[in-house]
Structures are given as C-alpha cells and as structure tokens.
Amino acid sequence: MEERLEVSGFKLLSIQSSIVLMVAIIPLTMISQGIGISTILLILSTLLLISSAETFVDSVKKAARKLGVSELIIGLTIVSIGTSLPEILVGVNSSLEVAAMGGCTSEICPSDFALGNIYGSVLVQISLVLGIVVLIHPLEVRPDWLARDGLLMFLAVILLTALILIDAKLDRLEGIILCLIYVFYIFNLLHQSDRIREDELLLKGTELIEIEDVNVKKIFLGVILGLSLAIWSASILVQSATDIASNLSIPSAFIGATITAIGTSLPELAVALTAARRSKGVAIGTLIGSNITDPLLSIGLTAIIYPVTVGSSLIFFALIIPATVLTTGLSLLFMYTDFKFQRWEGGVLVFCYAIFVGLIVVATGIV
C-alpha cells in the first residue's frame, strides 16, 4: 500500500508539473526569441515533453487495464513505445518542420536534429545511463535477453546506419521497412509469452501496480492532456533547438545528440536506477528495449512523414554514428563475457561517453 501511494503521488506530481511547465512556456513563446529565450524554452519544453508523455502513457495503461488487457500486452506495446514517445514526437515534429520548409537548407536542417536525437539517445542510454546504473549496482545479465533483444538492438543500429550510408538520407520506403521490422519484433515477443511472463514476475511490486478504483473521466483527461502537451512541447523543443543552432552557427545534430538526447533519456535513467536499487537485472532489459524502438520505430515514423536528409554529414559520419556503433558493440561485449556487468565496465562506458562529448564539442568549434 505504501508503494502504491508513493507511485500515485508521483503521477499526480507529474500532471501538476506538466501544467506548471505549460504556464511557464506560453508567455516565453510570445517574446522575441534570442539565444537566451530559446535556451530556456529548450530546457522547459524537454521537461514538459517527459512529464506529459509519462502522464499519457500512465493514463493509457490504466485504460487498458480497465478494458481487461493483459499486463503482458501492456508491457510489450504501451510501455515499450511509451518510453520512446519523446524521441518519436521529436522526430515527427522535425519532419513536419522540414516539410513546411520544403526541405533542408545549408544553414538549417531539423532532420539532423531528429537523427542526432535518435543516435544520441541510443548512445546516452547504452553508455552514460547504463554505466551510471552499473557503477551504483553491478548487474547480472539474463542470457535470454541478449539472445532475443541484445543482438536485435545492435543489428537495428547497424541497419539504420547502412541505409543512411547509401545516399545520406532515409526515404519513406526505408522508413516503412524499419517500422515493419519493429512490428515483427513485437509479434515475435508475443509468441514468446511464456518466457516473457517469467521476466514479468521480476517486475511485480515495482512497475505492475494493481488499480482498485479507476476514474474514467480522469483517465480520459490524462490521455487528452498528456498527448496534447507532449505534441505541443515537442514542437516547441524542435523550434527552440533549431533557433539555437542557427544563432550559434552549430549543427542541429550537436544539440540533438547531446542536450536533447540526455533530456529525453531521463525516464529510462529513472527506471533503470530504480531497478538497480532493487537488485534486479531488468534495468538492462529496459535500456535494450528502448534502444530497439528508437532506431526502428522512432526514426521509421519520422522518415515516413518526410524523408530524413543528413545535412551535417561530416559530424554524423565521422563522429556520431561511429561512436554509437562502437559503444553499442562494446556494451554487448561486456554483457557476453560472463553475463555480468562489473563496476569497472560501467566506468568504461561512462568514460566513452565523456570522450564523445569532448570530441563533438571540439568538432563543432564551440570551444
């Protein structure tokens, strides 16, 4: 009961914080935006996107339980996609902005921001977030997770990279292919329900919470309010990031791969830290699952709406993509050695991310 009250209070705080952030953002959007206002909007819209996405996902989960949908399906669909909702909305809004512009220009390319956010999120979660979790609590790795999800995570990153390397863009057909692979992955998980139910038992008491009294009106309000604010905040985030990149003459990919990637990965960090404190290896499973959704579904939907074009080709091909591929491979190597994650391995991953940030700062000429 105590844990249920704690979680309910957190959800209530999430709704309240969304409203407070919305009230703070609205007047700022009416001011002539310089670099200072754009930076504040970037931070506030990122926080609002995380908060409102959580409100939406939580409300949909409650609605699904109300309709009698099994916890297994909720976990594989709503939770899986919900943790990547910030990246999905950032990508979709970037595509809409590119479409409104009639394509990328030599100075401004929101597609770079979306693509940088996808690669950056994968890199942040598999190096910085996972490294921090392991530094706090060494984890055991379930071999079935690696066999089922770990390899697909790496192959998803490799496939996305290969499609981009062909002609420095991702067209609608390629986006459809990525989305279909993700759908096939979900159906494959449903066919392995018995094995996944064993993993589900590990989540009892932390993620799967029994709901006694469900207020339909509150659920409906949470779905509408959460989704509306998430879409709106993603639009503000993309616009403010584009303005900052334009004013500072730095690639949009830099902001997407660093600042925004860290911001949109905060939910995964919170979930992983909670799992680590409870000595449960689901922390790794959470991060791997999210890193399958991002390079397949998130960027796939983005390309379907409007083809993704790489504008800052040098920073992507020379730094962002190699760093993501190499770090993802390194993390899987650590997992496969003895199916354990030691603290020194977590330290290596955090150090890898620190090197990446240093290199990308130097490459963009910020310092």
- Give the pLDDT score at 259: 81
Helix (H) or strand (E) holding 341: strand 340-341
Q: How far apart are CA 133 and CA 345, in angstroms?
A: 11
What is the pLDDT averaged over residues 231-240?
81
Burial of 3 (0-12, 13-18, 19+ CB in 10 A): exposed
Locate 98 and state its tokens: 């590119």
pLDDT band at 42 (very low <50, low <70, confident <90, very high): confident
Mean pLDDT is lowest, of 73-77, 88-92, 219-223, 327-331, for: 73-77
Neighbours of 136 (CB within 10 A): 15
Higher pLDDT, 52 or 268: 52
**CATH no. for residue 305?**
1.20.1420.30
pTM score: 0.78
- Give the pLDDT score at 351: 95
- Give the pLDDT score at 35: 82
Mean pLDDT is lowest, of 46-60, 116-130, 162-176, 343-357, for: 46-60
Mean pLDDT is lowest, of 18-22, 94-98, 349-353, for: 94-98
What is the pLDDT averaged over residues 160-167?
92
- Give the pLDDT score at 208: 44
Signed CA dihedral, 104, 108, 110, 114: sign only: positive
* 215, part of any domain: no
* 140, part of any domain: yes
* 330, part of any domain: yes
Burial of 93 (0-12, 13-18, 19+ CB in 10 A): buried
Report whether pLDDT(1) > 50: no
* 55, part of any domain: no
* 50, part of any domain: no
Locate 135 and state its tokens: 């530094």
Domain extent, residue 274, equals: 71-208+249-363
What is the pLDDT averaged over residues 111-116?
82
pLDDT band at 253 (very low <50, low <70, confident <90, very high): confident
Q: How far apart are CA 289 and CA 304, in angstroms?
A: 22
* 60, part of any domain: no
* 282, part of any domain: yes
Predicted confidence (pLDDT) per residue in 295-338, tens digit: 999 999 999 988 888 876 688 888 999 999 999 999 989 888 87
What domain count does the chain have?
Answer: 1
Q: Give every CB contact of residue 39 below 8 A, 6+ residues apart in sequence.
A: 240, 244
- Give the pLDDT score at 73: 61
Do the beta carbons of residue 135 and residue 347 sit within 8 Å? yes
- Give the pLDDT score at 12: 45
Do the beta carbons of residue 245 and residue 111 sit within 8 Å? no
Percent of the chain with pLDDT over 70: 78
Burial of 367 (0-12, 13-18, 19+ CB in 10 A): exposed
Percent of the chain with pLDDT over 90: 18
* 239, part of any domain: no
The separation between CA 263 and the C-alpha centre of its own chain, rounded to angstroms, equals 9
Predicted confidence (pLDDT) per residue in 174-212, tens digit: 999 999 999 998 888 777 766 666 655 554 444 444 444
pLDDT band at 160 (very low <50, low <70, confident <90, very high): very high
- Give the pLDDT score at 269: 75
Tell me the CA distances in angstroms from 354 to 258, 299, 365, one per residue in order: 11, 25, 17
